[in-house]
Amino acid sequence: MEVMTPEHEWREDCAPRRVLELFSTKWTSMILHTLHSRHSGAARTGVLQRSLPGISKKMLVQTLRDMEASGLLTRHVESVVP
């Protein structure tokens, strides 16, 4: 018995593909986990980088920008330097 699935369920913009695209890099899930478990959802870039051994500043900034563009996180700019 063959199960037929509608073609529209497997389009390029279907939900499973969007989720896979969001988490396609190894750093995305690690950043989300670190923000949630160690920093209560918010951290400065430098603090976050020190919490993630092995990530370069370039990769962290690039991944954070991608996550912000996809709506996984929001960025808040402080007007004062710590």
Asked, for residue 12, whether it belongs to a domain, the answer is no
Of the pLDDT bands very low, low, confident and very high (cuts 50, 70, 90), residue 33 is very high
Helix (H, G, I), strand (E, B) or coil at 29: helix
Number of domains in the chain: 1
Tell me, yes or no, whether 18 lies in a domain: no
Per the rule left: phi > 0, alpha: psi between -120 and 50, beta: everything else, 8 is alpha
Residue 57: give the domain boundaries.
Answer: 24-70
User: So what's the pLDDT on residue 3?
Assistant: 60
- Indicate the burial class of 43 (C-beta count within 10 angstroms; 0-12, 13-18, 19 or more): middle
d(CA 60, CA 21) in angstroms, rounded, equals 17
Q: pLDDT averaged over the chain?
A: 86
**pLDDT tens figures, 20-30:** 888 888 899 99
Local confidence band at 16 (pLDDT 50, 70, 90 cut-offs): confident
